[in-house]
Amino acid sequence: MKILKSAVALSILLALLAACGDESSSSALDPIGEISSSRNDDNGSASSSSQKDSKKSSSSVSEKNSSSSVSGKNSSSSAVESSSSIEIDPICVEGDTSIKDGYGLRRYRTCRNGRWETDSSARLDSLDSLAAIEKNKEHPNMDSLFAGYNGEYLEFEDPRDGRKYKYIKFEGHSEDFDAFETFYVMAENLNYGKMVPSSTTKFDDNVTEKLCYVDDEWFCDNHFGGLYTWAEAMNLPKVCDSVAVDSNDACKAITKERSSIPGEGYLNAIWQGICPDGWHIMNQREWKYANGDIRSKILWEENAGRNSDGLAIIPTARLQTDVYTALWMPSALESNVAKAVYFYSTSNNADLSGKEITRRTFRSVRCVMDEDNPLAKN
Distance CA(35)–CA(143), nearest Å, equals 60
pLDDT of residue 321: 67
pLDDT of residue 363: 96
pLDDT of residue 132 exceeding 50: yes
Buried b (16+ CB within 10 A) or exposed e, 304-339: bbebebbbbbbbbbbeebbbbbbbbbbbbbeebebb
Q: How confident is the model at residue 378 (pLDDT cuts 50, 70, 90)?
A: low
Cβ 354 vs Cβ 340: under 8 Å: yes
- Tens-digit pLDDT profile for residues 32-88: 222 223 333 333 333 334 444 443 443 433 333 333 333 333 333 333 333 333 445
pLDDT of residue 158: 98
pLDDT of residue 219: 95
Distance CA(344)–CA(130), nearest Å, equals 13
pLDDT of residue 319 exceeding 90: no
SS3 (DSSP) at 375: helix
More confident residue, 120 or 243: 243
Residues in the chain: 378
The pLDDT > 70 percentage for the chain reads 70
The pLDDT > 90 percentage for the chain reads 42
Query: Quick check: pTM over 0.85?
Result: no
Cβ 99 vs Cβ 321: under 8 Å: yes
- Tens-digit pLDDT profile for residues 201-253: 899 999 999 999 999 999 999 999 999 999 999 999 999 999 999 999 999 99
